[in-house]
Structure 1
C-alpha cells in the first residue's frame, strides 16, 4: 500500500515508523497564525510564486510534519504529485497547522492567513487553487466560504477548490474503537510507555476536530453515542456561510469506489472483530457495526466489572465502500480493529488470530458529498454526478487506504488544475 498523505494518529501511534526520509528544504517558509506553509516553486517559474496551489494538511495529533506530508505526496509508490504539478508550471504551498486536532473553524483562520500571503507574494494575476487532504478539505472549504461572505476579508481570488478523501458528510470512527480507547486510557493510562499512547489516543478522539468530523462520537466508554454538539454547531456555521464557496469550481476525489460495492475486506455486520484475554483483560471483545440495537463491545479489566457498549440506529458501515482506516506502525499498517488488537497485546493479552483488521473510515458518499452516511441504503448506492454536490469528482477503482496518493486520483486532479488555469 502506498504511503497515505495524512497519518490519522500521527506520532502517537504505538511503534510508529520513523524511517520516513527528510523532505527537501522548501524554497520559502511562511510563519502563519496557527501554523506554517512550506513553499516549493516550480522550476519553470524562476523562484517566483506565479501559479499557486495551496494543499492543506488534515486531522492528526500535534503539529503538521513536512517530512510525513512530503512522503505521502512525493515518496509514495505510485505518483509524484508535487513533481507533476511543478511540470505544469504550478507552485506548491503545503499548509500545516500548529495543532491538527484544533477546531476546523480555528484552523480555517490559518488558511485565510495563507491565502492572504499567497496573494501578496504572487507575481502576475493567476487565480489560486486551494484545497486539502482529509479534514484539510473541510478546513479550506470553510475558509473559502467565509472569505466570500465576510466583507472584512479580501477576495480569495481562487478558481478551483479541491478535496482529497474529505469527510464532507462525516467520518466513521467505529464506536467500539472509541469505547475501547477511552476504557483502556482510564484503566492503564499510567502504565509506562503504552499508557501515554492510550491517553493521547483518548484525548485525540475527544479533540474539537474529532468531535466535528465524526458522524457519531463517544466521549467515554460508558457514555452515549451521538452526533456531538460541536459537530452540530460547526455544520450550522458552515450552512450560514452558504455551505460551500460559490465562486469556484468544486472538485473532489475518494479513496473508495463509486459503484456501491463494499470495501472488499469481507466485513459483515455484527461479527467479532477483536477478542482478547490475558494479563489485564477478561473476555473483552469488539464487534463490527450493525443496523438496529446492538451490543457492539464488551470491555472488562481483570478483577473489574464488565462494561457493555450498546448502539441503536447506526448503519452497517464498517464494510461500506470508502477510504480505509490505516495507522502505520513498525508492525505493519493496522486498521481500526487492528490497532485495538495491537494495544491489547501491548497490555499483555492474547488476541484471537481472526482479527478483522480494518474498516471504512471515509465512506465514498461522504468524500464525494453524495448523501447521508447514516442511511444504510445510501451508503451502498452507486454514486452518480446527480448525487454529488461537487462539480466534478473521481472515485478510486478500488477501496484503498485513506488519503493514499495514486496516479489514478492524482493525475485526474492535475488535469483538472491545468484545464482551469
Structure 2
C-alpha cells in the first residue's frame, strides 16, 4: 500500500524536517518523498487529519497480553491492534504467560503470531526456567530465536549469585538482563505503599526500602561483573539517585518508570479501587517529583505503560485479593503529553529502542516508514469508551489527558482509529 500524509508536522530531532509541516509520501513501506506539497496520484491513499503530527514510531518496553494461557484477557492479534491504535509501532512483550516464555520454541511461537503485523513484537525471554527463580533459562537459544532481553516479569531475582552468573554469561552475546526491583523479604504481604495512607486504610504496606535495597544490590553486582542491566518500573526517589550515581560511574545500567507512577499517588487508594493496585505500588508526590527530575536529566531512560490486562474475575474483588496491574497503552500518550509536553513525550517514547537494540528510523527520504501519527493538542477526560483492550482494568478512567493518537504507519501498513 502507498500512503500520502498531508500537512504533517514532524517531531524528530534527527530529521532534517524537524518542526516542519510537510507532505510525506510512503511507497511500499519506504518514505520516497517529503516536500511542502505533494500531489496525490492514483493508487495512493491520502491521509488528512486535524493538526496532524508525526514522529518516529513509539516503543513500549513492558507490555503484557494473555496469549498463550490467558486469551480471555488479551490475544496477541487484538493486543497488537490496540498498540497500533495507541500509537506504538514496537512493543517488548513480557514472558508472563502459560507456559512461560522460557525457551526458543515459545519465542518462535510469539514471533510467528505477530508475523506480517504493522506492530513489531519483540519477545522478552524469562531469565529463569518457568520464572521460578531457580535455574537459568536457555538465554542464548532464545536470543537466536528473537528475544531482545531476559527477565522474570514482576518477580525479583532473590538469589544474588543467579543474577551474577546471568550478567557474566550474557556478555558472551551482548545480552540484556532485566531485574525487577523488589526485595521480597522486605515487601512481605504488602499490597500498597507503606506510608501514611497505608496506616489510614489499614492495608499492609510495601516500603520504598524494598525497592531500594534490591536496586542497590543489583548495582553492586553489575559493578562486579560488568554486562548490561535494565531495571524496569522504578518508583522511588532513592532508586533514581542510586541509578544516577551508577551511570556516573560508567556502569551499563538503564531503567524505566511507568506512566502511572509519574501521575498517580497512593492517595488514589482511598476508594479501595483495585485498578490502582499495581506493582511496584503507587508512591508519594515526593517520589513523582524525583522521577520527573530523573526523566529530565536522563537518569530514567524510558517511560512504559506497563500494560497488563487482568480479567474481571481477578481484578474486581476485595483489594487484598486482586491481581496487580493496569492497562495503559490507550492512555499512555495523552497522560504523558499532559505532564511532559510534546517534545519530551516523544523523546521518552522513542529513545528506549536504543537500550533494547532496536533500530530506529529517522523521518527522511529513502528511510523505512516507521511512524506514529497524533495530534498533541486538545484536552479530554479518559473514559471507558476510550478503552480498546479486551480487559478494562484501567487506573486512568476519569483522568485528564492532552492530545489524540491517530494511529501508525509501519511495515508497509497503516492502522488508524
Question: Shared fold (TM-score greater than 0.5)?
Answer: no
TM-score by length of 2: 0.29
More strand by share: 2
Q: How high is the TM-score relative to the length of structure 1?
A: 0.29
